[in-house]
Structure 1
């Protein structure tokens, strides 16, 4: 249906015809040149429906790409809607969830928003690929960047980052000195030697270079660590 507002016209698309963005995300995921890593199946974790993707140099032939997966966390995996499994939501988020559930909007929107009801391990597992190797593509650099990325976005108050806008500073007290070896990450049943960060008060991070190409890194909140099996598997999108 074409709607005329007097100043401009636009096409109003019925809710059931609005494209599901998850489909496009999965199509883009197939552009990843190497297999991507995810947590092995485990009771307390469920992968969120949409991965986060970053691509570099697409117009000149892709120079790099990373794929990150967010996970919902269930303290009581036997009762999904148990009170201890629900996140503390602000009133605006609660209202948005209620409106989405009551609306005639597309089912995919309701499903994606329902994921917000549960605590999340935001972008917990990342696979990074670079066409050309340099300092920024090393395991150490990627592990630090991933950990800082999670800290800046999920622990702003705890890290003293409230009030910053635009270009955020790096998370304080996290530098190359935080990297520890030896560290071993199990991927596809094989123990790979890598690096870890086990001194930060808010997150634990670990990573390793993958035999199939690319680098896998994992960053999880320290208060969830006892419930998480830090083991990965890879799959080709």
Structure 2
């Protein structure tokens, strides 16, 4: 018998379907270069818009697990700062078997996650709205919703979005390494909580990363095509 709301032990891993959906992306999905402090766990989200002509835009977002001490993953410094409710959600094991992939995801919640840290954005039609500066500002403001407590906002992002970064805060005089090549880019280096950087891709589209400033010293900010 399968109870409502309970995944059977043989439930398929949703990441398999995500991989198939990502094949819809007209350009390669980008990520940060492989490095000891970041673990790419294939947690990639795909958003898109459509009209009468088909897909008009797509965005692939890559999430990473952060290891503050990658040489010793048992080091307590690797643990995330969790509230009591989140801790209970991880530690309360239900009396029924769960899919292995779900157990893995729950255990991973013990560690800091860089949610949607890297975005690859494609738009069918070019316009200023889809420029590096505009895409980067949108990404930064989206990630800032994770800092609502620090910004003195309510817990509901629909009440008051954390829109604190504007186009005038973008520095368009920087370079970015993309697949080992230095290219013109743009950055947001004025916010106290996050750092953002992005560039236009040679094959079309934009790649952008928004990272917690507190962890920036542990991250090598260079882009590469995900394997």
Query: Is the pair's TM-score, using the shorter chain for normalization, greater than 0.5?
Result: yes
Cα deviation code 1:97-124 (max 9, x no counterpart): 2234874111111111122111121211
Where structure 2 has 5 or more consecutive residues not aligned to the other structure, the ranges are: none
Q: What's the counterpart of residue 109 of structure 1?
A: 102
**CA distance in structure 2 between the aligned counterparts of 1:219 and 1:52, rounded to whole angstroms:** 15
Q: What's the counterpart of residue 123 of structure 2?
A: 130
Q: 1:100 to 1:131 in 2, by over 3 A?
A: farther
Where structure 1 has 5 or more consecutive residues not aligned to the other structure, the ranges are: 4-9
Please tell me the root mean square deviation across aligned C-alpha atoms, in Å: 2.3
**CA distance in structure 1 between the aligned counterparts of 2:171 and 2:63, rounded to whole angstroms:** 25
Higher gyration radius (CA): 1
Contact 1:101–1:110 (CA under 8 A) maintained in structure 2: no
Q: 1:161 to 1:144 in 2, by over 3 A?
A: same
Q: What's the counterpart of residue 39 of structure 1?
A: 32
Residue 167 of structure 1, CA deviation: 5.7
Query: Matched residue of 1:208: which SS?
Result: strand
Q: 1:14 to 1:64 in 2, by over 3 A?
A: closer
Residue 72 of structure 1, CA deviation: 1.1
Q: What's the counterpart of residue 19 of structure 1?
A: 12
Structure 2 residue 23 is the aligned partner of structure 1 residue 30: yes
Structure 2 residue 191 is the aligned partner of structure 1 residue 193: no
Residue 150 of structure 1, CA deviation: 0.3
Residue 169 of structure 1, CA deviation: 2.8
Residue 60 of structure 1, CA deviation: 5.0
**CA distance in structure 2 between the aligned counterparts of 1:149 and 1:131, rounded to whole angstroms:** 22
Q: 1:14 to 1:127 in 2, by over 3 A?
A: closer
Q: 1:13 to 1:88 in 2, by over 3 A?
A: closer
Q: Give the TM-score, by structure 2 length.
A: 0.91
Structure 2 residue 94 is the aligned partner of structure 1 residue 94: no
Contact 1:159–1:171 (CA under 8 A) maintained in structure 2: no
Residue 211 of structure 1, CA deviation: 0.6
Q: What's the counterpart of residue 7 of structure 1?
A: none
Query: Matched residue of 1:63: which SS?
Result: strand
| Structure 1 counterpart of 2:163, from 164, 168, 171 | 171
Q: Give the TM-score, by structure 1 length.
A: 0.88
